[in-house]
């Protein structure tokens, strides 16, 4: 494994110093090791098209080894194969399985969309969480999935069609403008916001960290605040909003949550996320019960906060 010293040399001094100051030396070194780790593939089984039991039988017949995840019963950690092994298999081509990391699945787990509900996915592409929600809802209800970028919008539509999702209305446009069209319309809102993506850093892929700067963090935090205000506007009273990012930056996570709770005092309550599940994921409990997953060999870094509108 690449040494801590060599990993630090690859990253921005500003990022390294902030991580070390925020987490202390032991956790800081584990985060750097997570940046350098080769992650095991995680497949989410599409129960619209097959069953978990049938998929496990098929995988065992191909001598694929896997581990189950207690709190994500339709997902498996693959321990002896890479993604490329699956990409030409019928199960992948037919949309029976989908690659989606453990931490990426947490926002939908905590949003808990139910059949018949109206749900907004404000920044939806490439559709991983959109499809995850539709599958949990049994293709019953309504999901409005918004994406601003044309290329990513096409990817969103492709992934949803491949997985047999029928209840999603895809919108191409600025998620911050949804408030005019859908005031207090949705039972639940997922704001998986654009971010500086620190949790997805892979030191074997320079494109994942070379773009980082304090300016990028600040620009994303500004956009996130704008989208958050829209999320509150489109949510029904009594509804649930889950905010998530794949970054470790406090400006985009804990500090944003603190600021929005102050702005929406009397309108939003922050709900503690249940941490009863036990697994090998390194979790930190953040501000008043938010969750931050640290980068590791089985997860990307992720932040999740859950709110309820009064």
On whether the CB atoms of residues 246 and 104 are closer than 8 A, the answer is: yes
Q: Taking the chain, what is the end-to-end CA distance rounded to the nearest angstrom?
A: 49
Secondary structure (DSSP) of 109-158: HHH---TT-EEEETT-TT-HHHHHHHHHTTT-SEEEEEES-HHHHHHHHH
For residues 255-262, average pLDDT: 96
- Return phi, psi of residue 58, to 5°: -65, -40
pLDDT (tens digit, 9 = 90+) per residue, 41-55? Answer: 999 999 999 999 999
Asked if residue 32 has pLDDT above 60, the reply is yes
Strands 291-293 and 302-309 come out as antiparallel
Asked if residue 280 has pLDDT above 60, the reply is no
Asked if residue 261 has pLDDT above 90, the reply is yes
For residues 115-139, average pLDDT: 98
How high is the pLDDT of residue 2? 73
pLDDT (tens digit, 9 = 90+) per residue, 214-252? Answer: 999 999 999 999 999 999 999 999 999 999 999 999 999
How high is the pLDDT of residue 288? 77
Asked if residue 285 has pLDDT above 70, the reply is no
Counting DSSP H helices and E strands in the chain, the numbers are 11, 13
pLDDT (tens digit, 9 = 90+) per residue, 68-111? Answer: 998 899 999 999 999 999 999 999 999 999 999 999 999 999 99
Tokens coding 72: 């994500």
pLDDT (tens digit, 9 = 90+) per residue, 178-193? Answer: 999 999 999 999 999 9
On whether the CB atoms of residues 292 and 283 are closer than 8 A, the answer is: yes
Query: Which residues are CB-neighbours of 24 under 8 A, at least 6 positions away?
Result: none
How high is the pLDDT of residue 158? 98
How high is the pLDDT of residue 297? 86
pLDDT-derived band at 283, boundaries 50, 70, 90? low
Mean pLDDT of the chain: 94
On whether the CB atoms of residues 106 and 302 are closer than 8 A, the answer is: yes
pLDDT (tens digit, 9 = 90+) per residue, 12-23? Answer: 999 999 999 998
Pick from 143-147, 204-208, 256-260, 287-291: least confident: 287-291
Give the C-alpha separation, 231 to 256, whole Å.
Answer: 14
Pick from 2-11, 77-86, 124-133, 212-221: least confident: 2-11
195 is catalytic: no
Handedness of CA 136, 141, 146, 147 (dihedral sign): positive
pLDDT-derived band at 279, boundaries 50, 70, 90? low
| pTM for this model (two decimals) | 0.95
DSSP type of residue 285: E
Asked if residue 135 has pLDDT above 80, the reply is yes
How high is the pLDDT of residue 282? 65
How high is the pLDDT of residue 299? 85
Percent of the chain whose predicted confidence (pLDDT) is above 70: 96
Give the C-alpha separation, 79 to 252, whole Å.
Answer: 33
Domains, the chain, ordered by start = 42-99 (3.30.70.1170), 102-309 (3.40.50.150)
């Amino acid at each position: 494994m690449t040494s801590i010293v060599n990993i630090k040399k690859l990253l921005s001094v500003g990022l390294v110093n902030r991580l070390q100051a925020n987490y202390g030396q032991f956790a800081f070194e584990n985060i750097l090791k997570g940046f350098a780790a080769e992650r095991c593939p995680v497949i989410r089984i599409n129960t619209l098209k097959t069953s978990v039991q049938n998929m496990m039988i098929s995988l065992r017949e191909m001598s694929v080894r896997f581990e189950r995840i207690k709190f994500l019963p339709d997902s498996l950690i693959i321990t002896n194969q890479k993604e490329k092994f699956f990409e030409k298999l019928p199960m992948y081509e037919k949309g029976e399985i989908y690659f989606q990391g453990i931490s990426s699945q947490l926002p939908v787990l905590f949003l808990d969309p139910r059949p018949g509900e109206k749900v907004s996915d404000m920044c939806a592409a490439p559709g991983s969480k959109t499809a995850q929600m539709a599958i949990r809802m049994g293709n019953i209800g309504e999901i409005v999935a918004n994406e601003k970028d044309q290329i990513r919008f096409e990817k969103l539509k492709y992934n949803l069609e491949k997985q047999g999702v029928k209840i999603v209305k895809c919108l191409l446009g600025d998620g911050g403008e949804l408030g005019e069209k859908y005031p207090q319309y949705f039972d639940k809102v997922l704001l998986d916001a654009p971010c500086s993506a620190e949790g997805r850093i892979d030191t074997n892929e320079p494109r994942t960290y070379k773009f980082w700067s304090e300016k990028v963090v600040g620009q994303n935090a500004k956009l996130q605040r704008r989208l958050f205000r829209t999320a509150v506007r489109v949510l029904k009273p009594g509804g649930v909003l889950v905010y998530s990012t794949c970054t470790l930056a406090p400006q985009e996570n804990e500090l944003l949550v603190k600021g929005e709770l102050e702005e929406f005092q009397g309108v939003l309550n922050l709900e503690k996320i249940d941490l009863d599940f036990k697994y090998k994921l390194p979790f930190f409990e953040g501000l008043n019960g938010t969750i931050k997953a640290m980068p590791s060999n089985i997860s990307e870094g992720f932040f999740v906060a859950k709110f309820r509108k009064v």
